[in-house]
Structure 1
Amino acid sequence: MSSMKSSIICACFLVFFTATSVVVNGKYHSNTHIIDAPTTMNKTHLHFFFHDTLSGDNPSAVLVAKPNGTVVEEGNVLPFGAVYVFDDPLTEGPTLNSKVIGNARGLYTSTSRGSDLTLLFSGDFEFTSGEFNGSSISVFSRDPLVVEKEVAVVGGRGKFRMAKGFILLNAIFFNVTNGDAILECDVTIFH
């Protein structure tokens, strides 16, 4: 009987050891650490306008790479594979002579080959005046070329450190020939 008990204990130990070995030696393993983090988050709403100008003598967005081996139709400012960088003003109102409150800097790439024109948008919206002077929100998102759309806020700096949220964009002006656009930005940020 004692030999049987020893065998059962040995078998249980072997099963336990094997089960724990699988977890430790598995392909995925993560340690959980407790960190001190705020228990509450702030919610901030912002409203401003984004001016993206590709035309004229002083454009705020420029083509830096165009597709190789792709036929680009005249007047198509966003052929598949085109990459633009931008340094666009952010203003309180819809006109360029409105008070400038910051700038948006980054890049966008045309990522669709079909009729559903889509960009991949990556940018930093920095505020240079007011309560959020020196702070910014980071945007990285799929950007379908439609009048009304939503892009993701994935981070930020300063008062918006660790921000998450979204921007509802409304194209209040878009020139299909030269690509110039004015976007109304309705921002909701949790930080």
Structure 2
Amino acid sequence: MAKHVSENALIMFTILLVSFLVSVESQEFSRRLSQRSFGLRKEKLSHFQFYFHDIVSGSNATAIRIVEATRTNRTAATGFGDITMIDNPLTAGPERNSRLVGRAQGIYTSASLNEMGLLMAMNYVFVEGKYNGSTLSILGRNAVMSTMREMPIVGGSGLFRFARGYAQARTHTFNMNNGDAVVEFNLYVLHY
């Protein structure tokens, strides 16, 4: 009888040990890493200035409305609920034929019933110099009628891994006839 009890105890102990090891292993989903192992040494602050060309008119539009909220558009002058997909050029100067430094790719949507307030979700994809292929991600509110708007930089890729900061936008020109706009952006980015 004692041999039978000790075998049962051994089996129970083995089952408990295995289940403990499995649960410990399955709970270990994160670990601490060295910043140096990722090449992260000293953080720096960089300033970028460029012009965002929001072209909504013509056959070569770079901003296309993909959703129109018909219910609210009858009552809200803000276009509340509309969603626009963009692949806008970013240039060194305000002229459309100025040197291309990147593209703004993403969406903006009218997110306010009472004023022109956009929710911007976009990536600035750089195509020039050492930043070629790197991106910065913007996610924030753009109160279009304000002289200066500020939106957070929430991350990036390539040379902008672990980036954070803010973007300031100021309308450079707006064409009342066709809706095209050129917006000056100044970005202040902390990155490694």
- Cα drift, residue 143 of structure 1: 1.0
2:138 and 2:151 in contact (8 A); partners too: yes
State the TM-score, normalizing by the size of structure 1: 0.76
Structure 2 distance, partners of 1:105, 1:32, is: 32
Q: For the Cα contact (< 8 Å) 2:78–2:113, is it kept in 1?
A: no
Deviation at 1:33, TM superposition (A): 5.8
Q: Residues 170 and 189 (structure 1 numbering): CA distance in 2 closer, same or farther, change over 3 Å?
A: same
Give 1 or 2: higher helix fraction. 2
Question: Quick one: which of 45, 51, 54 aligns to 1:52?
Answer: 54
Q: Distance in 2 between matches of 1:122 and 1:47?
A: 19
Match of 1:40 among 42, 45, 49: 42
The question of whether the paired residues in 1 share the 8 Å contact of 2:73 and 2:80 is answered with: no
Structure-2 change in CA distance of 1:32 and 1:161 (3 Å): closer
What is the number of equivalent residue pairs in this alignment? 158
Alignment of 1:43-122 (within 5 A): 43-72=45-74, 78-114=78-114, 116-122=115-121
- 1:70 is paired with a residue whose SS is helix
Equivalent position of 2:129 in the other structure: 130
The 3 A distance-change label for structure 1 pair 128 and 78 is farther
**Equivalent pairs: percent with the same residue?**
34
List runs of 5+ in structure 1 lacking aligned partners. 1-30
Name 2:3's counterpart in structure 1: none
Unaligned 5+ residue runs, structure 2? 1-28
Q: How high is the TM-score relative to the length of structure 2?
A: 0.76
The yes-or-no answer on 1:173 pairing with 2:173 is yes
**8 A Cα contact 1:77 1:179, kept in partner:** no
